[in-house]
Amino acid sequence: MSAKTKESAEETQPENIGSYVYGILRSGQRIPEDLDPVPPGAEDAEHGLGLVSSGPLAAVVSDIATDRPLGRREDLLAHERVLNAIAAEVPVLPMRFGAVVSDDDAVREELLDPHRDYFVQALDEIADYVQFSLRGDYEEDVVIGRIVEENPAIQDLRERIRGVDEDASYYDRIKLGEAISQAMDTLRENDANAVLDALERYARATVVKEVGGENGAVHVAFLVRRDHRTDFERAVDDLGDEWSGRVDLRLLGPTACFDFLPEYDAPDEEGG
């Protein structure tokens, strides 16, 4: 689906249709020709993606039915899919999921024009960068075995409850669970530091994020120069080889710079 430019449309937008905003581009840039995800609400509004331009900026938008709530997992995935496909080609400032305004005029008057200076500066700052996210999960049996092997206190607790009735060993089982949990937290911290030691030299900025799930090992976001991507990916491969059998690493990207947006300094009321 090729992008359509919406500012030339003469049709009056129906009352139950709003404008969903994905992100902000420099004016004159195009949405990738092969981008054809289903935008949030598009199955209701029956419209595809378009651009609303004002001066040096353009917003990536789709029509959306305003009489149904956003929030389905499919909506969030569609939002991210659109932005990530664009980010692979051109710089884009991602908007927060669920950004809906009344119509295309409001996109210009309430979003693009009042925040023009910030958007232009932010696009300049991320122009040469994309985000990658490295996630990893532990191979549970391997990691727990290593923790037990390296911790005599945990070994003693395991031996103490072996063959003992659950009720009789209740408190020792709690102590064992807490000890393993603390050891896992320490391991996660050490592994996150190891990821940074191995990879942050290829990134302008990093964010260590909370891991998900009991077996979550690492979750780190990287802001990487487009022309350093090959070196970064090669270093990730090397780390994956080093951790093979202990941590299952997955590299996600390139994506929009969700975790590295420049801060917005709102003008004060007097200064305008």
Helix (H) or strand (E) holding 17: strand 17-26
The residue assigned the tokens 């979003």 is 111
The pLDDT value recorded for residue 78 is: 86
Q: What is the pLDDT along the chain (272 residues), one digit of tens a residue?
A: 334 455 444 455 566 788 899 999 999 988 877 665 455 555 544 457 889 999 999 999 988 887 777 778 888 888 899 999 999 999 999 998 888 888 899 999 999 999 999 999 999 999 999 999 999 999 988 988 888 888 888 888 887 778 777 777 788 788 888 888 898 899 999 999 999 999 999 999 999 999 988 889 999 999 999 999 999 999 999 999 999 999 999 999 999 999 998 876 544 444 44
The pLDDT value recorded for residue 37 is: 47
Beta partners for residue 250, in sequence order: 135
Identify the structural domains of the chain with CATH numbers, from first to last. 12-127 (no CATH), 130-255 (3.30.70)
Question: How far from the centroid of its chain's Cα atoms is residue 220's Cα?
Answer: 10
The pLDDT value recorded for residue 212 is: 83
> Of 252, 260, 227, which Cα lies nearest the Cα of 132?
252
The pLDDT value recorded for residue 167 is: 74
- Contacts of residue 232, defined as CB under 8 A and 6 or more positions apart, other chains included, come to 132, 199, 202, 203, 222, 224
The pLDDT value recorded for residue 14 is: 60
Q: What separation, in Å, do the N-terminal and C-terminal C-alpha atoms of the chain show?
A: 41
Rounded Cα–Cα distance for residues 167 and 169 (Å): 5
Question: How far from the centroid of its chain's Cα atoms is residue 29's Cα?
Answer: 23
Within 13 Å of residue 164, how many CA atoms lie on the same side as its CB?
A: 13
The pLDDT value recorded for residue 13 is: 56
Rounded Cα–Cα distance for residues 214 and 209 (Å): 15
